Structure 1
Amino acid sequence: MVNVEIIAPRDVPLGGLRSMEVRRTLPHRARPTIGAWCFIDHYGPERLTMDVAPHPHSGLQTVSWLFDGHISHHDSAGHHLPVRPGELVLMTAGRGISHSEVAVDQMLHGAQLWTALPDAHRFDAPRVDRYRPAPVEADGATLLVFLGTLAGSTSPVRAATPLVGAEIRLPAGTRLSLPVNESFEHGVLVDSGRMAVEKRNVHPGELAYTGVGASELLLEAETDSRALLLGGEPFQEEFVMWWNFLGRTHEEVAEYQREWNAGGGRFGVTEGYENPLGGLGRIPAPQLPTVRMRPRRLAEPVARLR
C-alpha cells in the first residue's frame, strides 16, 4: 500500500488591486517541492478577472494549463500567443523574462505551475514551448500527457529535470491502476469530483502526495472526476524563492528585485500589453523582507500520513 500525504490548499489573492483568488498547495511548509515542481496555483471554475500586468521571472519555468477559458500571453522574448484548454504553454524564464496575462474569457478554470531550474540551466536563454497532447485511454480513463512519459504517451517538450505532468479524466466508477516511475515522487491535484488516491479520499483543491518507490498509483472515481498528476525525481538543489524570482542566495534574489524595479535590461520589455482594466503598466517588485532569506529546506521524498 502506498502512503498518501494530503496537502490542503490555502486561499491566496493574485494580481494586486484587482486580484483573483487562487488555491495554493505548493510551496507548503512541510513539502516545498515535488520533483522540481515548486509552485501550484489552482483556480476556478468561476467568473474571474485576470489582468496581470508585465512582471518578471528568473530561474524557473512557468507551466500554464487550462480546463476552461482563454488567456492572452505577451512576453519580453517577443511571444504573443493564446493559452487555451488542453494545450501546454511552458515559459522558461532562465536568466530573466517578463510577461503579462490577460483573460479573454472571464470564465476561467485551470492551474498555474512552476518548476525550479537546476543550476546547469537556470541562466539559459528564455523561451516558450507549446504542445497540445493527444488523448490516450487507459482502463476507462483519459489522459493528456503534457510533460514527460506516462501511459505510453511522451511529450516532446524539453524539461530541465526528469518530470511528468498529465491531466487525468476519470468517469464515475473508474478504477485506474496507473504505472508510474518508481524513482519519482508524485502529487495528484484533484480538480473536480469525488475520487480517492490509494483508497484515501481527496477533495477538490487538495494535493495527494506520494513519495518515491511506488510503481503504480491507484485512482478511483465515485463520480466523474478530473485531476492533475505531477511528478519528478526529487530536486536536490537548495534555492531561495521569493515573489517571482528563484535564486540560490539572498543577495542574488535581492539583485533581481533591484534590477526589475530599476528597469534594467535583464527582464526585457513586454510589448503588446493593452492594460485593459486601467491599472499599472507593470507590476513593481515588493520590498524585500527585513530578515535574510534562507534556502528552502529539502524534504525527504517520503509521504507522511496526516
Structure 2
Amino acid sequence: MSNLETAPQARVCGGRDDVSAEPVRELLTGKLVPLGESTVVRRLLPNLGRRMVGAWCFVDHYGPDDIEREPGMQVAPHPHTGLQTVSWLHDGEVTHRDSLGSLATVRPRELGLMTAGRAIAHSEQSPREHGPRLHGAQLWVALPEAHRRIDPHFEHYTALPEVTAPGLHATVILGELDGSRSPGGVYSPLVGADLTLAAGTSARLPVDPDFEYAVLTMSGAAEVDGVRVEPGSLLYLGCGRRELPLRADLDSSVLLLGGEPFEEKIVMWWNFVARTHEDITQAREDWMNGDRFGTVHGYDGPSIPAPELPGTRLKPRGRTR
C-alpha cells in the first residue's frame, strides 16, 4: 500500500503532549486521494485534526467500488521503511508481491501484514480474474525506535481469532481484544478489530482505559458512544474508557483502532516513517539509486519514482494541528 501523492507533505507525529486523558468524540472526514490507476481512497489519517491513534499513523478507506469491468487496484512497486502495512478487505482480492519474494493473495477478513523494518518494496494488484467489488482499508503502524531497522518480513493469516456477543461479531486483526489475541506480530501495545453489528444491536465492548481509540465505519451507520459515524468517517475517542457503547439500527461494520499513545515523534513523508529529515533524504536517495530496497519480481511495469523532497527542513508539529 502506498501514498501516491506527487507532492506529499512532510509531517512530524507522535508524542503524548496532545493526548486527552479523558474520553472525547472528535468526528473526522477523509480527503479523497487517487491510489494507482483506478482506485480512489478516503485518507483519514493523517488528518488536519489528528495524526496518530496509538501507533496507527495512516488510514485509507476505499470502496465499495464496482470493478467488474475495471482492473481494480493496480499499485506498482514502491518502497517502505520504519512501519508495518496492514491490508484489510471486505470485498475483493489483492495480490501482494514484495522484494523478499513473498507472493500472496489477500481475501476478505484475512490479514496481510508487511513489516518494512529497515527497507522493503512491494506491489499490490487485483488479480486479472477478480470479483465485481473492491472494498477495504489500508493502514500503517509506526515501528518504535528499537524495532524500526529490523529485518523486513511478510505475514499472511487466513484465520483470525474472534469475539462474539449477542448481535456483535469481532475479528481481531492485530493485538488483543477481550482476551483474544491476533497472531500478527506487533511491536507496541495496540489493537485493531473488525466489528460487525446486526441491525438492532446495542452492546458495550470492553476496552483498555490506557489506550486511545478511533472507529472507522466501513458500512451501515453505527452509533459509537452516542455519535453516528457514517461510512468513510473516523471518530477519534481519546483515552479513559473501560467500555465502548455501540449501537446499530442497520447491519453495520466498523474498524476499531487503538493503542497506547505513541511517545516518540516520527517524521512521515511519502512511504517512509523515520525520525529525522536526514533519514528521509537517505531513504529517497537509496530508492532512486536502486539500493537497499531490493526488486519486486513478477510485476509487469516500472516502479514508482519518489517525489521531490520539500525545499525546507521538517518542523515538529506534534500529534494534532
Bigger mean CA offset, 195-204 vs 91-100? 195-204
Aligned partner of 1:262 in structure 2 is 289
Report the residue type matching 2:92 in the other structure.
G
Q: 1:44 offset after TM fit, Å?
A: 0.7
Q: 1:293 offset after TM fit, Å?
A: 2.0
Q: Do residues 67 (structure 1) and 67 (structure 2) align?
A: no
Aligned partner of 2:138 in structure 1 is 112
Aligned partner of 1:89 in structure 2 is 112
TM-score (norm 2): 0.88
Matched-pair identity in %: 52
Report the residue type matching 1:77 in the other structure.
L
2:92–2:134 Cα contact (<8 Å) kept: yes
In structure 2, relative to structure 1, the CA distance for the partners of 1:267 and 1:295 (3 Å cut) is: farther
Aligned partner of 1:127 in structure 2 is 153
**2:75 alignment partner, one of 43, 47, 52:** 52
Aligned partner of 1:98 in structure 2 is 121
**2:271 alignment partner, one of 241, 244, 254:** 244
1:200-239 matches, cutoff 5 A: 200-239=227-266
Report the residue type matching 2:257 in the other structure.
L
Alignment gaps of 5+ in structure 1: 276-280, 301-306
Aligned partner of 2:59 in structure 1 is 40
**1:182 alignment partner, one of 209, 231, 235:** 209
**2:48 alignment partner, one of 26, 29, 53:** 29
Bigger mean CA offset, 33-42 vs 22-31? 22-31
Aligned partner of 2:10 in structure 1 is none
**1:14 alignment partner, one of 22, 26, 35:** 35
Q: Separation in 2 of the partners of 1:41 and 1:84?
A: 17
Aligned pair count? 292
Report the residue type matching 2:64 in the other structure.
P
**1:164 alignment partner, one of 191, 197, 218:** 191
Q: 1:153 offset after TM fit, Å?
A: 1.5
**2:177 alignment partner, one of 139, 150, 168:** 150
RMSD: 1.5
1:190–1:228 Cα contact (<8 Å) kept: yes
Alignment gaps of 5+ in structure 2: 1-21
Q: 1:3 offset after TM fit, Å?
A: 2.7
Bigger mean CA offset, 89-98 vs 40-49? 40-49
The residue matched to 1:52 in structure 2 has which SS? strand
Q: 1:296 offset after TM fit, Å?
A: 4.7
- Structure 1 runs of 4+ aligned residues shifted over 3 Å read none
In structure 2, relative to structure 1, the CA distance for the partners of 1:295 and 1:61 (3 Å cut) is: farther
Q: Do residues 293 (structure 1) and 288 (structure 2) align?
A: no
2:98–2:123 Cα contact (<8 Å) kept: yes
1:4–1:197 Cα contact (<8 Å) kept: no
**Cα deviation per residue 1:80-125 (whole Å; 9 max; x = unaligned)?**
1111111111100000000000112262100000011110000000
1:178–1:219 Cα contact (<8 Å) kept: yes
Q: 1:299 offset after TM fit, Å?
A: 4.5
Aligned partner of 1:194 in structure 2 is 221
Q: Separation in 2 of the partners of 1:234 and 1:219?
A: 23
In structure 2, relative to structure 1, the CA distance for the partners of 1:154 and 1:85 (3 Å cut) is: same
2:48–2:320 Cα contact (<8 Å) kept: no
2:83–2:148 Cα contact (<8 Å) kept: yes
Q: Separation in 2 of the partners of 1:22 and 1:86?
A: 19
TM-score (norm 1): 0.92
Higher RCO (C-alpha 8 Å, min separation 6): 2
